[in-house]
Amino acid sequence: MNIKEKLLSRALLSSSSICLPENDDSRIKNSSKKMKKMGFNLVDCKDLKDNFDEYYNLISRKKFSKNWSKEMKLNFLNSNLNLSLLALECGHVDSVVAGATHTTSDVLRSCLRIIGLRRSSKCVSSAFFMISEKNDTLYTFSDAGVIPDPTSDQLVEIAYESSVTHKLLTENNPKIAFLSFSTKGSAEHYKVKKIQKAVKVFSNKYPNIIHDGEMQFDAAVNKEVSAMKLQDSKLNGDSNVFIFPDLDSANIAYKITQYLANFQALGPLIQGLNKPVHDLSRGCSIDDIILVSAIAILQAEESKK
């Protein structure tokens, strides 16, 4: 089986449920029809309205609605996105995928209000799964969707979260490259120092996860270049998880990979939340929606263990 087939087959073995709240979008409607035929446990937003009183009471207990009127709460519940996240928080669904018609900021705002961060997380980040046109190669790019200029500590958390995501979904060990325009001090700059600090902290916290840096991209993916620039590298030009220094470089890189190298970009996959919620590009295809849904279901199943 190829990469996509493996993701789908593993997800279909799960009984975990998913909600796609943007059912006014034709792509979501068509994806839902396909997913039901395939055997996914799909929950429709209209079926969640039976729990309206429970969701209303939950909103009333949240800090963000402290000074809200009844009308404001009812308006909040009128959004299928918010309704699906409240259902996730209450355990009525196991995962949510949105973003076909909502911006990433809209999705994240509602997620943070309703679902919140995991106790072990200090920030929300994202990852993109990049699948080659031949469907035989997969890379994780992070963070390409959320944090504009991550600190060293945030880069450490982004790298760890991305390694967990990569291992769960590929069933292969992550090999993390902390990327820069410098390789092991070949340039001096405050941006380089930020990456160097992140690598040092990561090495102390997660010594058993294969990683190296700071490094340029060619040294991360090419064995010959790695041998010249990075003697005795743990990665040896065979990286599969790329941690970018900022959102500019990550977002540009994944779009170049998508549009010039014809890789499929799945994401942004949201990391650090209490429960599995994923975002979609507003230009997403039906195939993207189904695969991101499969990813969310696999993570929901993992969280039950």
Radius of gyration over every alpha carbon of the chain, rounded to an integer in angstroms? 20
Please give the single-letter amino acid code of residue 259: Y
User: What does CATH list as the number for 1-116+281-305?
Assistant: 3.40.50.10950
Question: Do 296 and 97 form a contact (C-beta atoms < 8 A)?
Answer: yes
What's the pTM value of the predicted model, to 2 decimals?
0.94
Say whether 122-272 and 1-116+281-305 share the same fold: yes
The predicted-structure confidence for 245-297, as pLDDT tens digits, reads as follows 999 999 999 999 999 999 999 999 999 999 999 999 888 999 999 999 999 99
Minimal CA–CA distance to 138: which of 169, 116, 110, 163?
169
Helix intervals (H) in 171-283 = 190-205, 217-221, 223-229, 247-260
Domain boundaries, the chain: 1-116+281-305, 122-272
What pLDDT tens digit does each residue of the chain (305 aa) get?
Answer: 899 999 999 999 999 999 999 999 999 999 999 999 999 999 999 899 889 999 999 999 999 998 999 999 999 999 999 999 999 999 999 999 999 999 999 999 999 999 999 999 989 999 999 999 998 899 999 999 999 999 999 999 999 999 999 999 999 999 999 999 999 989 899 999 999 999 999 999 999 999 999 999 999 999 999 999 988 899 999 999 999 999 999 999 999 999 999 999 999 999 999 999 999 988 899 999 999 999 999 999 998 88
The predicted-structure confidence for 57-94, as pLDDT tens digits, reads as follows 999 999 999 899 999 999 999 999 999 999 999 999 99
**What is the CATH architecture assignment of 122-272?**
3-Layer(aba) Sandwich (3.40)
